[in-house]
Amino acid sequence: MFRAQGTRFQAVSVVASLVAIGELDGHLLTTPFAITLLPASKRGELEVVDIETAAHLDISAAARESEAFYTDFNPFTGEWGLYGMKTPELVEGRGFLDEIGIVVDAYYLATEYDADDVLAPDIGLPERARERYIRHRRDLLFKPFRRIEARRVWGAHSPIELFLLQELARRELHPQLQMLIMDDGSTFPSLYHLWGDLDFRYSRGLVSEADMYFSHERVAVFCDGRNFHRGKRRQKDEAINDKLERLGITSVRLKGSLIVRDLGRAADLVLVALQNRR
């Protein structure tokens, strides 16, 4: 079918940005703080192949076996430095795990597709929210790349969230990232940066998205930039806090300036909230 249609394909790498959470038997344990898609390119142009190439090259297996990585990888800006192989040696030499983007998988993306052919898992969202979820997910994962760029699909929104996540991990605290909280108290992972879709933000039944969420203690953490907590935005934050409190969820709102200035104090505030719920 692809041969008859003359379908072309782009090779796309799945890049994980990691944060250390401990050690086991001398090996570093990590967890992702961001997942990004990067299209293959050659000499400054997007690389496109035909079905003959795609059918005979298992790029998923090749990506896992090659231990490929990007140096100076910034999932927040979509910038990266060099592309290389053999990640462990590089990590040991540099010592900055969060600046390395590790290629954990790869796949071929058709340059043309029928949107109706895309299947979407049902994660239990209310109907109207589910429709927006399907549309946003389809565009993010299946829309062909038009230029060489990083397409972030999940993870911490900003460096301040990463800083806090790293400090919490140092204290052996491991929250879930980007959790949608509904007005019935249910929670769902905000896969594919749903909150970045303006339409999805106003889905019926959606209260908010927590930057970090401790499901057992029901504590939601929000890392707010300097433009927050003013005027209407502050009133909206307070209204969200009230809704969450009625659902039995404690809100912890941390200013970005506090996280940068006194990271330990910011983590202490999260710890106190957790202890109060235990």
- State both tokens at 208: 């908010």
Amino acid at 122: D
The pLDDT assigned to 173 comes to: 95
Q: CA 272, 191, 67: angle at the middle one, nearest 5?
A: 95
pTM of the model: 0.86
How many whole angstroms separate alpha carbon 253 and alpha carbon 266?
9
Q: Which helix (H) or strand (E) holds 254?
A: strand 250-255
DSSP code for 145: P
The pLDDT assigned to 93 comes to: 47
The pLDDT assigned to 81 comes to: 87
Residues 14-70: tens digit of each pLDDT: 999 999 888 888 888 899 999 999 999 988 899 999 999 999 888 888 888 888 889
Instruction: Identify the CA nearest to 222 among candidates 241, 235, 203.
Output: 241
The pLDDT assigned to 198 comes to: 56
How many whole angstroms separate alpha carbon 21 and alpha carbon 35?
17
The pLDDT assigned to 228 comes to: 47
Residues of the chain with pLDDT under 50: 93-94, 228-229
250-255/219-224 β-pairing: parallel
Q: How far is CA 232 from the centre of its chain?
A: 28
Q: CA 99, 140, 100: angle at the middle one, nearest 5?
A: 10
